[in-house]
Structure 1
Amino acid sequence: MSQPTLSFEQLKHSVPLALRQCIAAGQYQDHTSGLAQGRVQANIVILPNDWANEFLRYCTLNRQACPVLDVTEPGDPYFRNLGTAIDIRHEVSRYRVYRHGELSEEPSDIEHLWQDDLVAFAIGCSFSFEQPLLDAGIALRHIDLGLNVAMYRTNIDTRPTARLSGKLVVSMRPMKAAAAIQAIQITARMPNVHGAPVHIGDPALIGIDSLSSPDYGDAVPVEADEIPVFWACGVTPQSVVQTSRPPLCITHSPGCMLVTDVLNSAL
Structure 2
Amino acid sequence: MTSNTLADLAYQVRLDARSGKLDAPTANLAPGCVQANLAVLPRALAADFLHFCQRNPKPCPLLAMSEPGNPALPELGRDIDIRSDIPRYRVWRSGELVAEPHDVREFWRDDLVSFLLGCSFSFEEAMLENGLPVRHIEQGCNVPMYRTRIPTNPAGVFSGPLVVTMRPLKAADAIRAIQVTSRFPSVHGAPVHLGNPAEIGIADIDKPDYGDPVEIRAGEIPVFWACGVTPQSVVASVKPEYCITHAPGYMLVTDLLNSRMAVL
With the length of structure 2 as denominator, give the TM-score of the two structures. Answer: 0.95
Deviation readout 1:160-203 (Å, 9 max, x if unpaired): 12311100000000001111000000111110000100000000
Which residue does 2:27 correspond to in 1? 33
CA contact (8 A) 1:72 1:80 kept: no
Q: Distance in 2 between matches of 1:185 and 1:139?
A: 15
Q: Distance in 2 between matches of 1:23 and 1:195?
A: 28
Deviation readout 1:128-183 (Å, 9 max, x if unpaired): 00000000000111101101000000001101123111000000000011110000
Q: Does 1:202 align with 2:196?
A: yes
The percent of aligned pairs where both chains have the same amino acid is: 55
SS in structure 2 of the partner of residue 87 of structure 1: coil
Counterpart selection for 2:167 from 173, 197, 206: 173
SS in structure 2 of the partner of residue 15 of structure 1: helix
CA contact (8 A) 2:52 2:156 kept: no
1:79-94 maps to which residues of 2 (within 5 A)? 79-94=73-88
Q: Distance in 1 between matches of 2:61 and 2:89?
A: 20
Q: Which amino acid aligns with 2:103?
A: D
Which residue does 2:45 correspond to in 1? 51
Counterpart selection for 1:188 from 173, 179, 182: 182
Q: Does 1:260 align with 2:254?
A: yes
Q: Which amino acid aligns with 2:51?
A: R
Which residue does 2:3 correspond to in 1? none
Instruction: Point out where structure 2 has 5 or more consecutive residues left out of the alignment.
Output: 1-7
Deviation readout 1:239-266 (Å, 9 max, x if unpaired): 0000001100100000000000110011
Q: Does 1:211 align with 2:205?
A: yes
CA contact (8 A) 2:159 2:237 kept: yes
SS in structure 1 of the partner of residue 53 of structure 2: helix
With the length of structure 1 as denominator, give the TM-score of the two structures. Answer: 0.94
Q: Does 1:104 align with 2:98?
A: yes
Moved more, 77-86 or 196-205: 77-86
Q: Which amino acid aligns with 1:266?
A: R
Q: Distance in 1 between matches of 2:203 and 2:133?
A: 25
Which residue does 2:122 correspond to in 1? 128
> How many residues get paired?
254
Instruction: Point out where structure 1 has 5 or more consecutive residues left out of the alignment.
Output: 1-13
Counterpart selection for 2:240 from 219, 226, 246: 246
1:217-228 maps to which residues of 2 (within 5 A)? 217-228=211-222
SS in structure 2 of the partner of residue 240 of structure 1: helix
Q: Distance in 1 between matches of 2:74 and 2:153?
A: 29
Q: Distance in 1 between matches of 2:20 and 2:156?
A: 39
Which residue does 1:4 correspond to in 2? none
Q: Does 1:72 align with 2:62?
A: no
Deviation readout 1:97-116 (Å, 9 max, x if unpaired): 11000000100000001111
Give the superposed CA RMSD: 0.7
Deviation readout 1:48-85 (Å, 9 max, x if unpaired): 00001110000000010100000100010011211101
Q: Distance in 1 between matches of 2:258 and 2:25?
A: 19
Q: Which amino acid aligns with 1:253?
A: A
Q: Distance in 2 between matches of 1:130 and 1:36?
A: 12
Q: Distance in 2 between matches of 1:169 and 1:22?
A: 28
Q: Does 1:148 align with 2:142?
A: yes
Q: Distance in 2 between matches of 1:28 and 1:195?
A: 28
Divergent runs of 4+, >3 A: none
Q: Which amino acid aligns with 1:81?
A: E
